[in-house]
Amino acid sequence: MTSLTHPGPPLRIPLRPVAPSVRAFLATEAGGAMLLLGASLVAIVWANTPWAGSYEALWETEAGLRVGSWDFSLDLHHWVNDAAMAVFFLVIGLEISREVTSGELRNPRAVAVPALGAIGGLAVPALIYFAFNAGGPAAHGWGIVMSTDTAFLVGVLALFGPRCPDQLRLFLLTLAVVDDIGAITVMALFYTDSVSVPGLVAAAVIVVAIVAMRWMGVWQVTPYALAGVGLWVAVLASGVHATLAGVLLGLLIPARPARPEEVRAVWQYVKRLTVETTAERSHLTELAARAAVPTGERLQRVLHPWSAFLVVPLFGLANAGVHLDGETLRAAVTSPVTIGAMVALMAGNAIGVFGASTLALRAGLGDLPGRVRYSHLLGGAMLAGIGFTISLFIAELAFDDAVLKEQAKVGILAGSAIAAVLGSVTLRLFGERWPLCSPSAAGPPAALPLGPWRAPA
> Model confidence over 288-303: pLDDT tens digits?
566 667 788 888 888 8
Residue 259 CA, chain-centre distance (Å), reads: 30
- Mean confidence (pLDDT) of the chain: 78
Between 189 and 369, residue with greater pLDDT: 189
Could you read off the pLDDT of 8-23 as tens digits, one per residue? 444 444 444 555 555 5
CATH architecture of 20-63+71-192+241-257+293-434: Up-down Bundle (1.20)
Rounded to an integer, the average pLDDT of 119-136 is 93
With a pLDDT cut of 90, the percent of the chain lying above it is 21
Rounded to an integer, the average pLDDT of 235-252 is 84
pLDDT for 224 beyond 80: yes
Rounded Cα gap, residues 446 and 352, in angstroms: 34
Provide the pLDDT for residue 288: 59
pLDDT for 71 beyond 80: no
Rounded Cα gap, residues 207 and 215, in angstroms: 12
- Least-confidence region, from 35-39, 276-280, 321-325, 445-449: 445-449
Provide the pLDDT for residue 227: 93
Name the residue ranges covered by the structural domains of the chain: 20-63+71-192+241-257+293-434, 262-292
Rounded Cα gap, residues 372 and 434, in angstroms: 9
DSSP state at residue 454: P
SS3 for 136-185 is: CCCHHHHHHHCCCCHHHHHHHHHHHCCCCCHHHHHHHHHHHHHHHHHHHH
Rounded to an integer, the average pLDDT of 389-394 is 84
pLDDT band at 343 (very low <50, low <70, confident <90, very high): very high
pTM of the model as a whole: 0.72
Rounded to an integer, the average pLDDT of 364-383 is 82
